[in-house]
Chains A and B, each alone.
Chain A
Amino acid sequence: MNTISQSPESEVDGPRSRVQSQGVSGTPVLSLEGVARDFSDGRVVRRVLKETTLDILSGEMTVLAGPSGSGKTTLLTIMGLVLKPSTGRVVVGGEDVTGFSEDSLASIRQQRYGYVFQQAALVPALDVLDNVLVGTAIQGGRVSAQTREKAISLLSGLGMKDYLLSRPQQLSTGQQQRAGIARALVSDPILLLCDEPTSALDVESSHIVLDTLKKLSRDPRRGVVLVTHDPRVFPYADRLLKMEDGAIVYDTRQVAG
């Protein structure tokens, strides 16, 4: 556990600082326009996500909260281009991707998105470094030396330097989640989507992960969305959205504006 208390701050922003000058904080990296999603369980069709229009802005941390079953993951997976909305349009970095093919969406996910899953979701067959790199060359080809170096530097920055060749099963959940964050960052994503990244972690590890994500959201090129039902996460939010029953019922931006 001693590596968890080690501060990840020193290096995690290192490889990023070069690109920080690009982009302006507060521009929409992702826009949902009238997006809704229906699920049918056999006979009944249920509207799990009601029509939602929403901009995710760069340079800030958007926290999406709400009770279980309120549609947070549904909304996040639509943002993440892994779930198609039943209606509405999805615009990524100014480009409408609604009608894009599966393969094009996969490429956008690979190049511009980063995901942090609830339980890290590392591939147990791969060591930590390969887990971080696997997405970058999953469409074939080799991992460049540059990318490899970047992955190592990201992992080192997160206090994982000594675990590059460890198997996920050999890591604590906190360490797994940090490897998961490194994986999400290795492609320099403009959008970082996190679904309950701290729910499996103890308080100390949670704070390390949240601090890291908060710092990452300071990049003016990048938007961070974090789904949670843990009120302890709220203080980290630049913008807090609350969902209930498939609709956003509270938005600090609207309240402020």
Chain B
Amino acid sequence: MRRHAAVRMLLHDRSTTAGAVLGVVAIVFLVGQQLAVLFGLLTLMSALVDNSGADIWVLSQNSKSTSTAGDLPIRYVDRLAGLKDIEWAQPVIYSAAQFKLPDGTSQSVGIVGVTRPGLVVGPWRMAEGGSDVLLEYDGVTVDKLDLADLGNPKVGQVVEVNGRRVRIAGYTEGSRAFGPSVMFVNSTKAREITGIPADRCTNILIKLKPGVDIRRARAEISTLLPKTTVLTVAELASSIRVYNLTSTGIGSSFGFSALIGIIVGVVIITLTMYTNVLNRQRDFAVLRALGARQQDVFAIILFQALTIGCIGLLIGFFLLGGFLFGVKGSRLPANLPLWLPPAHVLFTFLMCFLGSALAMRRALKIEPASAFR
């Protein structure tokens, strides 16, 4: 009967109930959307590393991110070839360059030099053509999502990067990184464009044999190449994320937006639920006189908060789903890791209870004697 009464009360005070539900929706959607974009960006930040197909990256000394000066000696690769745990080791070039737009201005791009014939750290998803187009002498790829930024170059069109002529050989789809557009090209052409000499590279990528302990291998490589930074893919990915979050202020700006969503939501829930209890003081007093204990009033309000939470979550996640569907394949990266929705549900209920706390306090103070006043 307590639950029945609780639901009836919610249905009776439709407008305040709707208000409280709105508060929950605000939390679920605003926070969820912020987190989805944040996780989308985090994924994007380390996309190149995560999709490189390697287990370990060798960077120049003191480097925290992928893009470096390009001063790793290529002979390090030969030095590594002696290690029995290594399946392969490949030099890679990753460097900034200027892409010339049709209007004569230029646009920063990231050039990734892929070693033939293995095409290690090549594009992981193509929209048109296979990645074997990079075997061509002057073929480059651009990502479909970056086309507008680069003046919509057509496949087959010849463009200029750092003053060198290259040909658009294919489009990638979502093979992007955080920051400037990424263009994949074979390593020979990459050297030509970036001016990195033939005996140097920016990174060495290493694939270990199956079953090899990655930490031990990393330590081994580290002693073999003392003047370098050797990181596992996971370490490098998180290092890049931390670096980007702290250096760009993305972290705090997302945190702030999410916080606003939470505050707005909790304030709405608090105000509406509190108003509701104030308006229904007499009802609660009568119920107390009829035999309701404080714990029964507690149960009623708690159940109301739960119900409001459930409805708000349903609507909120529906909207969130719509948002994720809407931005899918767009330039705005968004994804929710699997663990996040359940955590978000728990968090939302927590906020819901927090929002109902004031109403609860008020309701528990209602004296049964006031039913007679």
Instruction: Please report A residues at the B interface, Cβ cutoff 8 Å.
Output: 73, 76-77, 80, 82-83, 102-103, 106-107, 109-111, 115, 117-118, 121, 123-126, 130, 133-143, 183, 195
Contact = CB atoms under 8 A, between A and B. Distances in A.
A138 B282 contact: no
B299 to A, nearest CB: 7
Contact of A82 (B9, B11, B289, B296): B289
Chain B residues touching A, range: 20 to 34
B287 A135 contact: yes
Given A77-B372, A137-B1, A138-B296, A107 B8 contact: no
B2 interface: yes
Contacts of B12: 124-125
B287 A76 contact: no
A193 to B, nearest CB: 9
Contacts of B5: 123, 125-126, 130, 134, 138
A126 to B, nearest CB: 5
Contacts, number: 96
Interface in B319-373: 367-369, 371-373
B372 A130 contact: no
A82 B371 contact: yes
Given A82-B372, A117-B372, A135 B291 contact: yes
Contacts of B289: 80, 82, 109, 115
B148 interface: no
A139 B293 contact: yes
Given A138-B287, A143-B1, A82 B367 contact: yes
A102 B12 CA distance: 29
B1 A136 contact: yes
A115 B290 contact: yes
A83 B369 contact: yes
A141 B1 contact: yes
Contacts of B4: 130
| Most chain B beta carbons < 10 A, residue from A76, A118, A135 | A135
- State the 7 A-B residue pairs at the shortest beta-carbon distance, nearest first: A110-B291, A135-B290, A137-B1, A125-B12, A82-B368, A82-B369, A138-B292
Nearest to B9: A125
A102 B295 CA distance: 11
Contact of B282 (A121, A133, A135): A121
A73 B371 CA distance: 11
Interface in B54-68: none
A162 B126 CA distance: 72
B13 A125 contact: yes
A134 B369 contact: no
29 contacts: A76-B372, A80-B289, A82-B288, A82-B368, A82-B371, A102-B293, A103-B293, A103-B294, A107-B291, A109-B368, A111-B291, A115-B289, A117-B286, A121-B282, A123-B5, A125-B5, A125-B9, A125-B12, A125-B283, A130-B5, A133-B1, A134-B287, A135-B291, A138-B292, A139-B291, A140-B2, A140-B296, A140-B299, A183-B290
Contacts of B8: 125-126, 130
Nearest to B13: A125
B286 A138 contact: no
A133 B282 CA distance: 18
| Most chain B beta carbons < 10 A, residue from A109, A143, A195 | A109
A30 B368 CA distance: 19
Contacts of B293: 102-103, 106-107, 139
A106 B288 contact: yes
A106 B290 CA distance: 8
